[in-house]
Amino acid sequence: MKIKAITIEGHKGDVQIHANDEGAFVIHGLLCIAAFDRREPGEARYPKALEVAKAVFGTDRQGRANATNSMVHEVIDAIERVAGC
């Protein structure tokens, strides 16, 4: 089974994850906030997932994602599911 897209209710609007030929891209509003290549290593995905977590969970006063480490890993899992990693 292949998942082509997931929509997550974000802090200020929906965050959409769409599959493409190389992996997946994440859209918040009209902006593509991250592109994930299924061939890149896992440690390269974490900083991108932090940016996605900001759109999903919001930010604190310092501008960091208002999410725990496990919440960021849940975001990574959803993106990898769509990207086919």
Which residue ranges make up each domain of the chain? 5-83
Q: How large is the average pLDDT for residues 57-70?
A: 92
> What pLDDT was estimated at residue 34?
93
Q: How confident is the model at residue 7 (pLDDT cuts 50, 70, 90)?
A: very high
Is the pTM of the predicted complex or chain greater than 0.75? yes
Average pLDDT rounded to a whole number, residues 21-29: 91
Helix H, strand E, coil C: the string for the chain is CCCCEEEEEECCEEEEEEECCCEEEEEECCEEEEEEECCCCHHHHHHHHHHHHHHHHCECCCCCECCCHHHHHHHHHHHHHHHCC
Asked if the model's pLDDT at residue 21 lies above 80, the reply is yes
1 pLDDT higher than 90: no
